[in-house]
Structure 1
Amino acid sequence: MICFALLAHEDEYALRQQIKNIRKYNPKDAFIVFYNGGKDKDFGKKVCQEEQVRYCGYSRPLTQRTSGRFFYDVMRWLEDRHINYEYLVYLEYDIMFVNRGFREMLKERMNGYDGLLKWVKKETDPQKATWDPAKQMWGEWNDWRQVFQLDHFYRTSSPMSVYRHGIIKKMLASVNKNHLERLFQSSNIRCLGEMLYVTLARKNGGRILDYRNSDLQYLRFRPNLTLKEVKEAKDNPAVMFVHPAKDIQVRKWIWEQ
């Protein structure tokens, strides 16, 4: 069973449409946990009730500095409620599905693996770090070394990251929760989640597979996908999702298919 962890903070109409989009292209037994990262405590609650989506009770307002805890909060909430699933998928508001086949792809590619991620890279030397968040991680390394218990860390890109439930249990069991909470409050690392989860997975023996290069044309950080690109993706059965789909007309076209 697939669990989609969905982070959003505004526009309930777009949230409802995204939920319908996820359900349209994925198996009926897949379920969604919505995390409200905005300041409005009621945002999304009515939509979740009407669309039968689980609302993460550990939701809290997030900023770019604090958004790294989103996936951790969802993981804990699922465990605390003894909710069973096989795969946990990281979704944001600008990810949209365009074709079916995601579960079949996971079963095929993740055979023997604990995670499916994008561009996993190993950081071993602070002097060679080129990515600003990695430099920030090295700057706080004395604190984070206690969490990872390694002399290095890994980084990836969060959208559409997939982890098996088994490795998530090991990740959660391996951390000192009080220490991690203190770091969540004090750390100034941007894109923290793109280093935290993959490193915890590897620390706990997780076998990680990279997305194929053919997937990455429609799974990127920027620029925003154009309508032409999304139509091309839709015409390719091997492409199941696109990111970032932020343009209103692009999202409208996807919803109408």
Structure 2
Amino acid sequence: MICMALLAHENEQALRNQIRNIRKYNPQDVQIIFYNGGQDTNFGKKVCEDENVLYCPYSRPLKQRTSGRFFYDVMRFLEDKKIAYEYLVYLEYDIMFVNSGFREYLLSKMEGYDCLVKILRKEVDPKNASWPPARDMWKDWERWKSIFESDAFYRTSSPMSVFRHGIIKKMLGGLNKKRLEHLFDTSNIPCLGEMLYITLAKKYGGKCKIYGDNTKRFLRFRPAITRKEIKEAKSRSDVMFVHPVKDAEVRDWIFNQP
């Protein structure tokens, strides 16, 4: 089974439409787990009840670009509930599917691999770190290296990252959870999740696959996906999802496609 961890913080109608979009293009063997990262503790609960989606009880308010603990909270919730799954996928509120075939794509691309990510970079020298969040990690490295047990760390892009359950169990089993919770509470490193999970996966021997160039074109940080690009993506069977969808009109157009 594929578990899709969905992080959102506002606009319940958009959340409902996104859940239905996920189900439309992934009708088999998919479980959605919703994480409420907003200030309203009731946000999404009624939607989850109506749409038969699991609501993560470990949800808590998260600040933009400092949502690093989201994936960890979902991982441990799934373990605590003893939910069986094969893959865990990182979804955010601005990801939408445009074509079917993601399950088959995973089965093909992840044979022999533990992770599927957009990029994979190794940071080895604080003096040559060009990415600002990596520079922030190096500044706090004396504390974080006790988690990584390494002299270097990796980074990726979180949206649509996929991890096998097997590597997740190794990651969770080897963590000093009290130490990690303290670091979550006292660190303000932007994009922490884009360094934490991939580095832990590599620490425990995870083999990582990179998305193909065609997919990566529609999986980016900025600019926002346009309707013209959506139409192109939908016309190509090798493109199953797009990110980021920021415009409500574009989001509604995707949702209303037959």
Aligned to 1:87: 87
Where in structure 1 are there 5+ consecutive unaligned residues?
A: none
For 2:158, give the aligned amino acid: S
Asked if structure 2 preserves the Cα contact closer than 8 Å seen for 1:117 and 1:156, the reply is: yes
Aligned to 1:38: 38
Aligned to 2:253: 253
Aligned to 1:122: 122
C-alpha RMSD over aligned residues: 0.7
For 2:103, give the aligned amino acid: R
Give the TM-score of the pair, scaled to structure 2: 0.98
For 2:19, give the aligned amino acid: I
Find the residue that maps to 1:159 and give its secondary structure. coil
Deviation at 1:66, TM superposition (A): 3.7
Return the alpha-carbon distance in structure 1 between the equivalents of residues 188 and 247 of structure 2. Answer: 30
The reply to whether residue 188 of structure 1 matches residue 188 of structure 2 is yes
Return the alpha-carbon distance in structure 1 between the equivalents of residues 16 and 100 of structure 2. Answer: 19
Aligned to 1:62: 62
Asked if structure 2 preserves the Cα contact closer than 8 Å seen for 1:33 and 1:54, the reply is: yes
Return the alpha-carbon distance in structure 1 between the equivalents of residues 178 and 64 of structure 2. Answer: 22
Aligned to 1:25: 25
Deviation at 1:248, TM superposition (A): 1.2
The reply to whether residue 133 of structure 1 matches residue 133 of structure 2 is yes
Deviations 1:30-67 (A, max 9, x none): 01000000010000000000000000000000013641
Aligned to 1:5: 5
Find the residue that maps to 1:147 and give its secondary structure. helix
Asked if structure 2 preserves the Cα contact closer than 8 Å seen for 1:66 and 1:184, the reply is: no
Aligned to 2:164: 164
Asked if structure 2 preserves the Cα contact closer than 8 Å seen for 1:158 and 1:193, the reply is: yes
For 2:57, give the aligned amino acid: G
Asked if structure 2 preserves the Cα contact closer than 8 Å seen for 1:64 and 1:191, the reply is: no
Where in structure 2 are there 5+ consecutive unaligned residues?
A: none
Deviation at 1:236, TM superposition (A): 0.5
Deviations 1:218-254 (A, max 9, x none): 0000000110000000000110000001111111111
Find the residue that maps to 2:138 and give its secondary structure. helix
Deviations 1:93-150 (A, max 9, x none): 0000000000000000100000000111000000110000000000000001000001
Trace 1:223-238 onto structure 2 (pairs within 5 A): 223-238=223-238
Deviations 1:188-211 (A, max 9, x none): 210000000000000000000111
Return the alpha-carbon distance in structure 2 between the equivalents of residues 113 and 126 of structure 1. Answer: 29
Aligned to 1:98: 98
For 2:195, give the aligned amino acid: M
Give the TM-score of the pair, scaled to structure 1: 0.99
Q: Give the fraction of aligned pairs with identical amino acids, expressed as a percent.
A: 66
Find the residue that maps to 1:205 and give its secondary structure. coil
Return the alpha-carbon distance in structure 1 between the equivalents of residues 63 and 251 of structure 2. Answer: 24
Return the alpha-carbon distance in structure 2 between the equivalents of residues 229 and 42 of structure 1. Answer: 35
Aligned to 1:73: 73
For 1:195, give the aligned amino acid: M
Asked if structure 2 preserves the Cα contact closer than 8 Å seen for 1:33 and 1:55, the reply is: yes
Return the alpha-carbon distance in structure 2 between the equivalents of residues 141 and 198 of structure 1. Answer: 16
Return the alpha-carbon distance in structure 2 between the equivalents of residues 39 and 214 of structure 1. Answer: 37
Find the residue that maps to 1:224 and give its secondary structure. coil
The reply to whether residue 221 of structure 1 matches residue 221 of structure 2 is yes
Return the alpha-carbon distance in structure 1 between the equivalents of residues 51 and 188 of structure 2. Answer: 36
For 1:226, give the aligned amino acid: T
Q: Which runs of 4+ in 1 moved over 3 A?
A: none
